[in-house]
Amino acid sequence: MSDFPDWAKPFIAIYENSPAAVLILDEALEMQWANKTAKNKASSTGKLNWADCLIRAKENGLLPRLQRGESFTLANPLLFAPPVHYIFQPQLDESGHLQGVLVQIFPSADTGSSEWQDSMYQPANVFNNQFRTPLSQIFSVLNLLQSEYQNDRTLQKYLGNINWYCYRILRTINNFSMDQRILAGQLNPKMLTGDLCRFMRTLCKDLEELLQNTAYSFSYDIPDESFVTVYDGDLLSCAVCNLVSNACKFTDPQNGRIVLKMTVLEKQITITVSDNGCGMSPQVLKHATERFFSHDPLTGVPCGDGLGLFVCRFILQLHHGTLAFHTEEGAGTTAALTIPMAKSKEKSSLYDNPVSFSQDRFSLPYILLSDVIPPDTEPL
């Protein structure tokens, strides 16, 4: 993998065994890499004449749009045999220049693609249905018991424990569902224009409220200025909450300090989440964002589902951003995510008036921070 550019390496690791056919092109739209599904001559996508498909894409104005940073979908079942549609996702460098393209190939609707996509989602669908429905019933019963036995402190503590473990299960379901969408090539961001600083101030207030009943010291510094760009608020909140959760998890709650800081530059923002916890060894850091990698520094065994940082890394890639770490064993870790400014032709924005998550007990912050809220805390 050393022969590939840095921007392509995470995609290669993620999509090598994906059931979706995936290609990586260079800035001249020459194919540099194809995953196993794309190379499988027995599959429908493996039988495609890629050269012919690329010619047709160029005839439809592919390159200029990619150079502007616009995704491009080419779907015409009459043009290709077998019928497929292509999704071209441009990868820009920090200067906004095209450095390569990620291409995902799916069977067209006329070939029963909905059934094909359902088969890719089947594990996630089964997992969701088998756990979310009973969890909903458990949460409902918990609410009734909390209200009926408010004065029974012992029972309230037990209910708090049950509530805590239910949220941990819900977190695993959420991470697994995100993982399956990534592998299927279906984690498509809803990119809309908004003031990212304003959005982050609202999110940080929610995080502060969630952590106020814990022993952690949480503080944040968000500039008063505006930074208008294109982003997916749900996905970014997922990434930030995962980083805050990790910072808490590997920091002693009795003297733990978690600091979130946002820095605005001319064409990009950087969000850092710093802690004074145990830090990471060079060996652990090397694998930290790999899928299913999890490590307890005290025991050396896995301590979670190992999907949080993997999902974070992918979310940043969708925003053409980066995720980096500065860490030292025994001295803490700083996670830094960087997002470049991007523009959209859309006039309206979902995030002009960001909504607080704090009133929704099944929102991402509640779920993703379930690991660090102690079980004897009053039920949410």
How many CB atoms within 10 Å of residue 310? Answer: 24
pTM greater than the 0.75 cutoff:
no
- Per-residue model confidence (pLDDT) at position 356: 62
CA–CA separation, 64 and 225 (whole Å) = 33
pLDDT of residue 219: 94
Between CA 288 and CA 294 the distance in angstroms is 8
Prior bond of 82 cis (ω within 30°): yes
Q: What percentage of the chain's residues is helix, strand, coil (to nearest 5)?
A: 40, 20, 40
Q: What is the pLDDT of residue 200?
A: 93
- In angstroms, the CA 112 to CA 211 distance is 47
- Residue stretches of the chain with pLDDT short of 70: 1-2, 42-52, 56, 59-60, 72-85, 94, 106-129, 133, 184-185, 343-360, 374-380
pLDDT, one tens digit per residue, over 252-263 is: 888 889 999 999
**pLDDT in the model for residue 222:** 94
pLDDT value of residue 115 = 44
Of 63, 180, 333, give the one whose Cα is nearest residue 74.
63
